[in-house]
């Protein structure tokens, strides 16, 4: 109420007034219990398998996130987004649970190369892409993270030994669903806050790339980017979602895209 009153007073005495921005209304989501499209479904970009992270939306569309490197055209060791090749915007992406392919509408690697990004941390860790779902599938989506619930907000930092939670869905797990929920600990933030090193049981493996990570409080922490062999074998690098989204909004036409909050409350229980 106080914020609204302040806005009115400023308008009353200003020569020209701009109304405060209004956030997009979230779509009506399918029930979490039976929605076929949700964080953790598999995506396939010209055969490359990844795990979707969070759900996003704007006034017109529903999107699902994956890692930028999921549409990469180089080898698995080419991880610097400022000089690694990628499939173009407009590439169709198959999304499990969807009746029609989605469309790649944003890729941080292509965006950084297009603007001549030179920040070493940004180039190394900004690994985020957005897939626009076909309108026929927009009503089949729920944004809740399976098993854990949430996310309840965007952005978090992590300190050493902070709990983290994720949900991977690599086909290398042979369909054993009990291995999909993962919990573990942060080893701290690195790269100027662009990345979080985490260690989980089980570790992220090929096919889990892009999957969502939640903080100890249920915030959308980041997206799985790399599998590390040092300093701890089996640790993972998680790109910071808040920074990735801020970069996208500042450097693309998708400035009004917002994270969809989970319809299920964050409830960090035990692993299966």
DSSP letter for each residue of 89-111? TT-EEEETT-SS-EEEEEEHHHH
Q: What local confidence, expressed as pLDDT, does residue 168 receive?
A: 81
pLDDT band at 229 (very low <50, low <70, confident <90, very high): low
Q: Do domains 42-143+245-259 and 163-241 have the same CATH topology?
A: yes
Q: Is the pLDDT of residue 154 over 60?
A: yes
Q: Is the pLDDT of residue 21 over 50?
A: no
Q: What local confidence, expressed as pLDDT, does residue 12 receive?
A: 30
DSSP 249: H
CA dist., res. 214 & res. 69, Å (int): 21
CA torsion, ordered 240, 242, 243, 249, to nearest 10 deg: 140
Task: Give, to the nearest 10 degrees, the angle between helix 108-115 and helix 241-251.
Answer: 50
Q: 1.10.10.10, 2.40.10.10, 3.40.228.10, 3.30.1490.20: which CATH number matches 163-241? A: 2.40.10.10
Q: Is the pLDDT of residue 7 over 50?
A: no
**What helix, strand, coil percent values describe the chain, rounded to 5?**
20, 30, 50
Closest residue by Cα to residue 247 from 114, 157, 96:
114
CA dist., res. 156 & res. 252, Å (int): 23
Share of the chain above pLDDT 90, in %: 71
Mean pLDDT of the chain: 87
pLDDT tens, position by position, 33-88: 999 999 999 999 998 999 999 999 999 999 999 999 999 998 877 889 999 999 99
Domain ranges of the chain: 42-143+245-259, 163-241
Considering the domain 42-143+245-259 in this protein, what is its CATH number?
2.40.10.10
Q: What local confidence, expressed as pLDDT, does residue 1 receive?
A: 41
Q: What local confidence, expressed as pLDDT, does residue 235 receive?
A: 85
Q: What local confidence, expressed as pLDDT, does residue 176 receive?
A: 65
Q: What local confidence, expressed as pLDDT, does residue 233 receive?
A: 62
Helix (H) or strand (E) segment spanning residue 9:
helix 2-13
């Amino acid at each position: 109420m106080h914020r609204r009153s302040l806005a009115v007073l400023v308008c009353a005495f200003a020569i020209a007034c701009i109304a405060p921005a209004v956030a997009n209304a979230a779509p009506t989501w399918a029930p979490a219990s039976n929605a076929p499209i949700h964080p953790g479904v598999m995506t396939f970009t010209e055969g490359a398998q990844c795990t979707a992270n969070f759900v996003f939306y704007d006034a017109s569309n529903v999107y699902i996130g994956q890692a930028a490197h999921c549409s990469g055209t180089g080898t698995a060791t080419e991880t610097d987004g400022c000089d690694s090749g990628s499939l173009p915007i407009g590439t169709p992406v198959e999304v499990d649970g969807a009746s029609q392919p989605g469309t790649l509408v944003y890729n941080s690697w292509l965006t950084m190369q297009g603007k001549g990004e030179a920040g070493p941390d940004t180039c190394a860790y900004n690994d985020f892409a957005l897939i626009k779902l076909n309108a026929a599938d927009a009503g089949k989506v729920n944004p809740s993270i399976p098993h854990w619930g949430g996310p309840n907000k965007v952005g978090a930092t992590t300190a050493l030994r902070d709990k983290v939670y994720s949900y991977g869905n690599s086909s290398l797990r042979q369909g054993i669903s009990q291995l999909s929920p993962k919990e573990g600990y942060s080893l701290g933030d690195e790269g100027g806050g662009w990345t979080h090193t985490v260690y989980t049981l089980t570790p992220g493996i090929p096919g889990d790339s892009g999957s969502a990570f939640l903080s100890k409080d249920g915030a959308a922490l980041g997206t799985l980017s790399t599998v590390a062999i040092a300093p701890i074998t089996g640790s993972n690098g998680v790109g910071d979602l808040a920074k990735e989204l801020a970069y996208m909004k500042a450097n693309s036409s998708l400035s009004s895209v917002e994270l969809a909050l989970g319809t299920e409350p964050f409830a960090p229980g035990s692993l299966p």
